[in-house]
Amino acid sequence: MDTLETRIAIKRLHPLFVAEVTGIDLTVPVPREDFRVIWDAFNEHQILVFRDQHFDDESQIAFSRHFGTLETMIAHPGNDWNPGHISVMTNLGKDGNFLPPDHPAMLHRERNEAWHSDSSFKPVAALASLLASRIVPPVGGNTDFASARAAYEALPAERKAALEGLTALHRMTYRDMDNDKGYKEEDKQRHVVTHPVIRTNPVNGRKALYVGSHAQEIVGMPPAEGASLLDELTAFCTQPQFVYSHHWRDGDAVMWDNRCTLHRATTFDKTQYKRKLHRTTIAGKTPDSAFARMPGA
Ligand code: OGA
Ligand code: MN
């Protein structure tokens, strides 16, 4: 009789990663058995795309909590100085009008246009992020994703072996971009952590490169040498064959695994088109790094 039973369907959107999940409304309480399907898909496909989910902050937070404890952001330009669980990716001020291009919040968000993994500068790096549309631009403003798992798996065996055991130093601020963006020296020093260059997903044992713009030095290597190795690895991960570009539609929500993917914002006409996406960020469960002193500081 029950022909209307919801059935979650999972469809790959890229040969190597990214799946679209249909047949479920995430804005209402999600049963445990449905969450299990989503959790398994998340670990397998690394990026999950959900369409026609019209989240508000409350329902987005409620769904995100299935994945674990949410990160709480301090007040900063990226969340309109509202501390809490929501980070706001937008070119609009609180009044809904366009922000001028030199506004601190615009400069802060421009950093998202560099490939990165969210919160990799924290001692417990983020497990996942859920970015959900509020207002989407008609043209541009895609979010690009790269599979650092597929990239790792494509490395020759001897390269994998050479990278095994390396540790990178991650900073909140970006090497080349941030000197003039209003960050105080103490902010730059505050978040300096180390993480392994190769991370293993404990659920399925799959390994991935853990690099991106926050990763800036290799522990035990001269800074410039480590930086160029990390740049090379980030460039390797972000080759076209490992990249999926998400064009945002109204009602879209995309969840990504920060342990094995990199992402970046792409630009759009920020004086013509409005863009507003809200992000919740799920903290990692196990401390997989320790605070490190910044070499040479
Ligand atoms: C983020 C992010 C990219 C974008 O939300 O963490 O990097 O396209 N966003 O807004
Ligand atoms: Mn990000």
* 270 token code pair: 């920020």
Distance in Å, CA 6 to ligand 2 centroid: 32
Ligand lying closest to the C-alpha of residue 79: 1
Q: Is 135 a domain residue? A: yes
- 122-158 pLDDT, tens digit each: 888 899 999 999 999 999 999 999 999 999 999 999 9
pLDDT tier, 119 (very low <50, low <70, confident <90, very high otherwise): very high
Q: Residues of the chain with pLDDT > 70: what percent?
A: 88
Q: Is 158 a domain residue? A: yes
DSSP sequence for 238-253: TSGGGEEEEPP-TT-E
Q: Is 295 a domain residue? A: no
Q: Does residue 283 contact residue 124 with C-beta atoms inside 8 Å? A: yes
Residue 183 CA to its chain's centroid (Å): 21
Average pLDDT over residues 213-230: 96
Domain that holds residue 161: 2-287
Q: Output the CA–CA distances (angstroms, integers) from residue 224 to 167, 182, 217, in the order listed.
A: 15, 25, 8
- Ligand 1: residues within 6 Å at CB? 89, 112, 118, 129, 131, 143, 263, 265, 277, 279
Q: Is 293 a domain residue? A: no
What number does the ligand 1 atom closest to the CA of 265 have? 8
Average pLDDT, the chain: 89
Q: Is 99 a domain residue? A: yes
Q: Is pLDDT above 50 for 294?
A: no
Domain count, the chain: 1
Burial of 213 (0-12, 13-18, 19+ CB in 10 A): buried
Domain with residue 42: its CATH number is 3.60.130.10
Average pLDDT over residues 181-209: 80
Q: Residues of the chain with pLDDT > 90: what percent?
A: 75
Ligand lying closest to the C-alpha of residue 121: 2
Q: Is 228 a domain residue? A: yes
Distance in Å, CA 272 to ligand 2 centroid: 23
Q: Is pLDDT above 90 for 220?
A: yes
pLDDT tier, 82 (very low <50, low <70, confident <90, very high otherwise): confident
CA distance 19 to 31: 20
Collect all residues with Cβ–Cβ distance below 8 Å to 144 and sequence separation of at least 6. Answer: 115, 238, 243, 244, 245, 246, 263, 264, 265, 266
Residue 289 confidence (pLDDT): 39
Residue of higher predicted confidence among 294 and 61 = 61
Q: Does residue 269 contact residue 138 with C-beta atoms inside 8 Å? A: no
Distance in Å, CA 87 to ligand 1 centroid: 9
Distance in Å, CA 226 to ligand 2 centroid: 23
Ligand 1: which residue has its CA nearest to atom 6? 118
What sign for the dihedral angle of Cα 196, 198, 199, 203?
A: negative
- 238-251 pLDDT, tens digit each: 999 999 999 999 99
Q: Is 294 a domain residue? A: no
What number does the ligand 1 atom closest to the CA of 118 have? 6
Average pLDDT over residues 167-179: 75
Most confident range, picked from 179-183, 189-193, 222-226: 222-226
Q: Is 259 a domain residue? A: yes
